[in-house]
Structure 1
Amino acid sequence: MDIPPPAAGEELSPSLALVNTRFRLPGGPYEALAEPSAARAWLTERGLVPAGPALGPAQAARLRDLREALRALFAARIGGTAPDPGRVAAVNAALAGCPPLRVLDWTAGDPARILRTAPSRPVDQALALLADDGIGLLTGEHADRLAACGTPGCTRLMIRSHAARRWCSTRCGNRVRAARHAASHTP
């Protein structure tokens, strides 16, 4: 299966990267978190949980549930519609499971304000950090640039780097341009 590169803005927002773990490919749906081992690998690759024991099916399901809640809220923001209160409650519940704390870190060099979570289970910490990032994306400086990919059939979301950006990746842009070219050369 040919997986596209990360969508624009995923490097800025782990919650956007989470939302984009489920999407449609030309050959059908893609689910990056179908198995608990894949969910663990995704969290570990992003530094959200330490390497260690496998996630259980219930923990992987909680991650997928948070993803769907965030996807619905991002879609509401993009569409300018009212969010589903249940989805708002789901994000707030993830955050309440392990509230993040902003703390001062001044171990070397200049002081820095960093985000930490209160001690708890690693998955609770990861979900809280993802929920907090999602809230930041919905309310922060990138909120107005959150957009859906303009390629027909693509379900990924992105943060537009400029107003003219319409595609989540160069791959999607190339697909649209190739289709346009083929249509213009069809008798």
Structure 2
Amino acid sequence: MADPLALLLANTIRATSRGLTDAFSTRESTREWLVAHATNVGMYLDLEAYLPTEDERVALVDLRQNVRALFAEYVAPQPPSSADATVLPAFPQALAAINGAAAPTLRLLNWDDAGPHAEHRLLTSDDVSTVMAGLADATIEFFSGPEAAQIRVCPAPRCVRYFLKSHPRQEWCSVACGNRARAARHYAQHRD
């Protein structure tokens, strides 16, 4: 099962052995992420030829921070991801920003031989507004659906990711994080 787009967007910040990395750190890396994920929300733009301006990159970072604020609110009273908990926008502002970014999205009910299904139409005239509307709409769809109940913060040392708990015994976002947590616990026990 592929991760929902809202989770992929929230996890564009990752911890590595060198520290935090951000998929939106440059205009080029932002385009790479958009190209890799644009079709997940039905955006059929020519993003290969699109290079966001610095202002557009910053707008996408702001949108991501608002999405991360929604994740932080959802996991409360557990602590949010340590990556940016102190710099996230307040929840009411984040919610308003997501709804505002999704405003140019129109969701229609389409009924064909396969039966009823939702169809998204993005009513924007420029690439970045289309991208932001699609990402915001995917976030709204995710948080209003049943998968949101599975959101967890990875408790492994140095990890800053959110994940969906897909198994009752799952504690970490990945096997690597589980190994890192067990190694840290073992080291702490034998150090004392």
State the TM-score, normalizing by the size of structure 2. 0.79
Does 2:89 match 1:89?
A: no
Structure 1, residues 32-71: CA drift from partner, whole Å, max 9, x if none?
A: 1111111111111112443222111111111110000010
- Would the aligned equivalents of 2:153 and 2:163 in 1 still touch at CA under 8 Å? yes
| Distance in 2 separating the partners of 1:62 and 1:123 | 9
Structure 1, residues 72-91: CA drift from partner, whole Å, max 9, x if none?
A: 1111011159x621111111
1:74 to 53, 71, 76: 71
- Partner amino acid, structure 2, of 1:164: R
| Distance in 2 separating the partners of 1:125 and 1:31 | 22
Unaligned runs of 5+ in 2: 79-89
- Would the aligned equivalents of 2:12 and 2:24 in 1 still touch at CA under 8 Å? yes
State the TM-score, normalizing by the size of structure 1. 0.81
- Partner amino acid, structure 1, of 2:123: A
- Partner amino acid, structure 1, of 2:57: A
Identity of aligned residues (%): 31
- Partner amino acid, structure 1, of 2:108: R
Does 2:39 match 1:42?
A: no
- For the structure 1 residues 12 and 182, does the alpha-carbon distance in structure 2 shift closer, same or farther, using more than 3 Å as the test? same
- Aligned residues: CA RMSD: 2.3
Number of residue pairs matched by the alignment: 174
The Cα shift of 1:159 comes to 0.9
- For the structure 1 residues 162 and 182, does the alpha-carbon distance in structure 2 shift closer, same or farther, using more than 3 Å as the test? same
The Cα shift of 1:26 comes to 3.5
Residue aligning to 2:87: none
Residue aligning to 1:174: 179
- Would the aligned equivalents of 2:161 and 2:173 in 1 still touch at CA under 8 Å? yes
Does 2:14 match 1:14?
A: no
Structure 1, residues 129-178: CA drift from partner, whole Å, max 9, x if none?
A: 21112122222101211111111221110111023211111111111122
Unaligned runs of 5+ in 1: 1-8
| Distance in 2 separating the partners of 1:112 and 1:62 | 34
Residue aligning to 1:60: 57
The Cα shift of 1:118 comes to 2.4
| Distance in 2 separating the partners of 1:183 and 1:110 | 56
Structure with more relative contact order (C-alpha pairs < 8 Å, separation 6 or more): 1
The Cα shift of 1:124 comes to 1.4
